[in-house]
Amino acid sequence: MSTHPFSETYAEARSKFLSAAESAGAAVQAHLHPERGPDGGVLATDCAWIGPADARSVLVMVSGTHGIEGYCGSGAQIDWLQRGEAAQLGPDRAALLIHALNPYGFAWARRVTHENVDLNRNFVDFARPLPVNRDYDTLAAAVKPADWNEASQTAARLALGAFAQAHGFRAMAQAVSGGQYAHADGLFYGGAAPTWSRITLETLFRERLSRAEEIGIIDYHTGLGPEGYAEPIIAAAPGTPEFDRAIRWHGRAARSHVGGESVSAEIAGDWLAAAPQLAPQARVTGIALEYGTVDANRVLEALMADNWLHAHGDPQGPLARQIKAQIRAAFYVDSDLWRGMVLGQSLCAVRQALGGLGRP
């Protein structure tokens, strides 16, 4: 098997990650998913721990929060392991690499979980009233047509274009991608209960990170912004201690998704925002490293096509190959230049996080 850090399938990515983790001397644990991949193969969220079990400071690297975006994050994690960067951890520090947090989406080339939930909209308190997104309600039928053909695609573009013309493109993006909890078969659905992947992440925080006093997080994402550029996105609002620390660690290019400066919409229920509550004993500083791929309209059309395929079509039928190629191209640019930009910016962000851990 090639030592190239990127992979063509989830199964290949998992095999490479486990091999690289073993070579790096990591302790590895698998959390088996209840579903199977399209090839019938096992799905799992795999974790690699390097360093003392009771380390005061821990670096956490997460891939595959949004399934198919795992192709990028997996490559970055494997590259870090293969480079021997763990030797830079130093005393009383550890690294936790969480590979394929949403293995179902990774394997099935989907952004969502097997519950059709956007994992970064799922970290809300389901015992309380859920966020309401009235603007999504007005666009729900357009972005999830019953048929996927030229006429329905044109109608969707017209509806989205009319909304953007009336309210602005950013308002349209906020309406569609900010998160919604009323359309279980729609886009950016936050769910009705904690997903398997959320429960798995909460378990990992409880079992692995409860003794840490300081935690630095890098969560890998793709699909927003200029091709190849990785925007460090902060979940905390400007002016908070968490935001200020992330700026000190990662520089002024970092942006909060709160307030409209980031390429991301302002979202409800993302796990980075919930991380301080998952480890209340620790000082938590995290970023989502968001790599640009293609035009935002192409990304949205790929998501609509994939949503239709799993809601109304046949995920292994005649249209599946075309739609899966479309969504893969929306979240992973198949070029050495893009892959090189992924690895270089990831390495920089990880070293920045390690430099920040333990400092005031």
Per-residue pLDDT of the chain (360 residues; tens, 9 = 90+): 457 899 999 999 999 999 999 999 999 999 999 999 999 999 999 999 999 999 999 999 999 999 999 999 999 999 999 999 999 898 899 999 999 999 999 999 999 999 999 999 999 999 999 999 999 999 999 999 999 999 999 999 999 999 999 999 989 999 999 999 999 999 999 999 999 999 999 999 999 999 999 999 999 999 999 999 999 999 999 999 999 999 999 999 999 988 778 788 788 899 999 999 999 999 999 999 999 999 999 999 999 999 999 999 999 888 999 999 999 999 999 999 999 999 999 999 999 999 999 776
8 Å CB contact between 33 and 39:
no
- Contact of 189 with 181, CB cutoff 8 Å: yes
Cα-to-chain-centroid distance, residue 58: 20
pLDDT (0 to 100) of residue 317: 86
In the block, which residue shows the tokens 């179902």? Answer: 104
- Radius of gyration of the chain measured on its C-alpha atoms: 19
Residue in this structure with the two tokens 């209960």, named with its chain if needed: 193
Strand partners, 287: 218
What's the pLDDT score for residue 88?
Answer: 86
Report the pLDDT value the prediction gives residue 1, as an integer from 0 to 100: 45
| Alpha carbon distance 71, 346 (integer Å) | 14
CATH of 10-127+191-293+332-356, one of 3.60.21.10, 3.90.950.10, 3.40.50.2300, 3.40.630.10: 3.40.630.10
Q: Distances from the Cα of 242 to the Cαs of 275, 276, 284, 316, in angstroms?
A: 11, 9, 7, 44
- pTM for the model stands at 0.96
Sign of the CA dihedral with 314 first, then 139, 68, and 100 last: negative
Single-letter code of the amino acid located at 340: G
Domain with CATH 3.40.630.10 in the chain: 10-127+191-293+332-356
